[in-house]
Structure 1
Amino acid sequence: MDASPDFPRQSRAPVFNMPGVVTASIAVLVAIQAIREYLLSDVRDIQVVLDLALVPARWTVWFDPSRVAEVIQAAASGDPDVAAMREAFARYVTGQQSLEPWTLATYALLHGSWMHVLFNSVWLAAFGTPVARRCGAWRYGALALAGILAGGLLHIMIDPLSATPLVGASAGISALMAAAARFVFQPPVSGYGTQPWQRTAHRPAETIPELLRNRTVVSFLAIWFVTNLLFGIVSLPLGAESAAVAWDAHLGGFIAGFLLFPLLDRKFPPTR
């Protein structure tokens, strides 16, 4: 006689069983990229980027019009083959004298290429899924939005003279990644087995001292920061020439997600 408990079978593999809000997020990003690639003319697509991407120089000049000359000079430096084009774009942006505050969030809806959007979709599925399952849809969305806003602000602060449009959902994904790091790498609770039904369903997020004692978390954070440092040194655009992804936006999003997660996390009874 088999005395083992009868547990329900998973109808689908976990990788194909994402929460609806994560699936919807990926679908939106892919749909926007498809519309830009296949339905919009080049002129209209450029206008979409101008209207929705985050341009630090636009914000800098709006708050301090006296820095227009600095922005133009910074754009004209570097590779002479594209300097004239960058300078012309900088003159256009600074001549608008328009803040366009919505771009602090909408830049995350655009991507530089299919490779860029697919790369971000993979990471969103990997780290958005545990956060959405644990916290629910609106907390998942709030964390992602906070990361997007924080990433955009840090990018403006670090590179205020840049006239290059910033695009990509990486800052929001970095926030979800940081949030997930606070609970997905927890060691098993003493007294429980390693099978899923023998683990406690919910455990509080680890505190910073607990995280620093967790070698898996420390290794993960070290790899993440080194990778982003390399992004800053190498300046890989992951797509179109006119739309680079900034390492500082990743960092701003990560910090926001790491610090805000305990405030947005659901409250669970302590483990025994």
Structure 2
Amino acid sequence: MRIPFTIAALIASFVAVQLSLVLFPDYERALLFHFALFPARVLGDAPLAGQSLLGVLNLLSYGWLHGGWGHCAINSLWLLAFGTPLARRMGALRFLIFYCACVVLAGLGQVLVSSDAMQVVPIIGASGGVAACMGGALRFAFIYRGADNDGNTPLLPLRDIPRTRPVLMFILIWVIFNVVFGLTAPLLGQGEVGSIAWQAHLVGFFAGLCLLRWFDAPPRSPSGGPGQVPYGQWRQ
């Protein structure tokens, strides 16, 4: 399977950042402080008041930090699985803009629902962006199996999701799993360290599911050029 350049570059950047944390442990705290996402910083609350501009930048930068090699590997594998069909369909630039936009929305969603106790707890990880890829891919990759996912297959309309049993079941299972796992993980961990940003997962997933249409490449005609030719009218 040929990996799209954008996917390979994103995974390489995840690995590079994680490697820098390992090679330069003395700077780990500084990197987390400046590039992780802190709700208090975004909202301008104490003790990080006056850092709102950095907080806005952190809505994107947090997606390149991970809590260890395991965290980095899991997100990289899921990005490879769900980001690949999207990148092939959308093209490099469209996919990168889509991915970054969903990372920002996922982080913002997590910030807005964070409790007072979580205001200065760093949020890190690419899970929100990866979940967005999962939500986006759900609108075509699981419906038209065996077809080319290169822009020729039509997107499943949002209004048809309640009538499409496999997609609806996937969404319900995904939501239930994240809510249950997110609420029980702190009980298994130690204080805030055991917390899971499950709200960011959900926001990212539904952002990808709903926003894909705005970033999707125009369908191609039988000649290979762009055109509004319904898939079923010409594909044999």
Alignment RMSD = 2.5
SS of residue paired to 1:229:
helix
Residues 20 and 243 of structure 1, relative CA distance in 2, 3 Å threshold:
farther
Equivalent-residue separation in structure 1 for 2:5 and 2:50 (angstroms): 40
Match of 1:209 in 2: 159
Equivalent-residue separation in structure 2 for 1:155 and 1:20 (angstroms): 29
Q: Deviations over 1:42-96 (max 9, x none)?
A: 3x11010000000112223x1xx5xx4xxxxxxxxxxxxxxxxxxxxxxxxx055
Q: Is 1:226 equivalent to 2:169 in the alignment?
A: no
Q: Give the C-alpha shift of residue 223 in structure 1.
A: 1.7
Q: Give the C-alpha shift of residue 178 in structure 1.
A: 0.7
Structure 2: which 5+ runs fail to align?
220-228
Counterparts of 1:92-131 in structure 2, within 5 Å, are: 94=47, 97-99=50-52, 100=54, 101-131=56-86
Q: Is 1:263 equivalent to 2:214 in the alignment?
A: yes
Match of 2:223 in 1: none
CA contact (8 A) 2:37 2:122 kept: yes
Q: Give the C-alpha shift of residue 160 in structure 1.
A: 5.0
Structure 1: which 5+ runs fail to align?
1-13, 69-93, 189-193
Equivalent-residue separation in structure 1 for 2:142 and 2:95 (angstroms): 19
Match of 1:34 in 2: 19
Equivalent-residue separation in structure 2 for 1:226 and 1:167 (angstroms): 22
Residues 267 and 254 of structure 1, relative CA distance in 2, 3 Å threshold:
same
CA contact (8 A) 1:174 1:253 kept: yes
Amino acid at match of 1:209: R
CA contact (8 A) 1:109 1:167 kept: yes
Structure 1 range deviating more: 261-270 or 114-123 = 261-270
Residues 200 and 133 of structure 1, relative CA distance in 2, 3 Å threshold:
closer
Equivalent-residue separation in structure 2 for 1:58 and 1:52 (angstroms): 11
Q: Give the C-alpha shift of residue 97 in structure 1.
A: 3.3
Q: Give the C-alpha shift of residue 108 in structure 1.
A: 0.3
SS of residue paired to 2:95:
helix
TM-score (norm 1): 0.73
Equivalent-residue separation in structure 1 for 2:29 and 2:204 (angstroms): 26
Equivalent-residue separation in structure 2 for 1:234 and 1:127 (angstroms): 26
Equivalent-residue separation in structure 2 for 1:112 and 1:227 (angstroms): 21
Match of 1:148 in 2: 103
TM-score (norm 2): 0.83
Match of 2:41 in 1: 58
CA contact (8 A) 1:166 1:243 kept: no
SS of residue paired to 1:149:
helix
Larger radius of gyration: 1
Structure 1 range deviating more: 148-157 or 244-253 = 244-253
Equivalent-residue separation in structure 1 for 2:59 and 2:141 (angstroms): 29
Residues 244 and 200 of structure 1, relative CA distance in 2, 3 Å threshold:
closer
Match of 2:200 among 246, 249, 252: 249
CA contact (8 A) 1:167 1:243 kept: no
Match of 2:225 in 1: none
Match of 1:136 in 2: 91
Amino acid at match of 1:41: P
Q: Deviations over 1:112-169 (max 9, x none)?
A: 0111000101100000000000011111111211111111111111015221100000
Q: Give the C-alpha shift of residue 251 in structure 1.
A: 1.3
Q: Deviations over 1:231-251 (max 9, x none)?
A: 32123699xx75854001111
